[in-house]
Amino acid sequence: MMKKKRKLPWIKFDDQSKAINNTVGNKPKTNSSEYSEIIQHNICSTTTNMVLYHTIVNNSNDAIEDLKRDGFDNYKSYFDPTGGNVATTSYKNSNDLVFYQEKVFSGGTTTPGYKHHFINEIEAMEHLSDRGRELIDSGYESVNDLDTYFGGNSYEDNN
């Protein structure tokens, strides 16, 4: 008596990968040019995201280095998800005044922005918080949410 061959059930995939992976028998449901376009799109998107992520990380590292060198240890950083620029709002105590500043970091270039002196730290903190909300409302994202923004992919080198 011969054993009947058992067919393996096809694995269901999410909607995005259905066009690539969902097959009937050995014949893909999409033609080869559609398949190539899908693969190329996914590769380009991943590469673009990886480059953008590293641009943001580099600009953020430049920002932190610059701020700490100048004694601005109270800061918030925000990134532009379309271009990778990093904007910072920061303040430091110096004698009887609190110095507040904004800067934008982009590809090794630092662009100074708004500067102000406050009488106390509470005013500086309020301004820093208000300006952060304005940046987020204008399309920036918090650098603290960088990995979440990129879907949990940090694109960090594993070396």
**Surface-to-core class of residue 158, CB atoms within 10 Å of its CB (0-12 exposed, 13-18 middle, 19+ buried):** exposed
pLDDT at 130: 93
Contact criterion met (CB below 8 Å) for 102 and 114: yes
**Residue pair 66/103 in contact by the 8 Å Cβ criterion:** yes
Q: What is the pLDDT of residues 77-103, one digit of tens each?
A: 999 998 899 999 999 988 888 999 999
Among 1-5, 108-112, 146-150, which stretch is predicted with the lowest mean pLDDT? Answer: 1-5
Residue 101 pLDDT: 92
- What does 29-74 look like in DSSP terms, one character per residue? SS-HHHHHHHHHHHHHHHHHHHHHHHHHHHHHHHHHHHHHHTT--E
Cα 159 to chain centroid distance, Å, stands at 21
Per residue in 36-73, pLDDT (tens digit) is 555 554 555 667 778 888 899 999 999 999 999 999 98
Contacts 24+ apart (CB under 8 A), 152-155: 153/49, 153/53, 154/53, 155/49, 155/50, 155/53, 155/54
What pLDDT shows up at residue 31?
56
pLDDT, residue 11, reads: 37
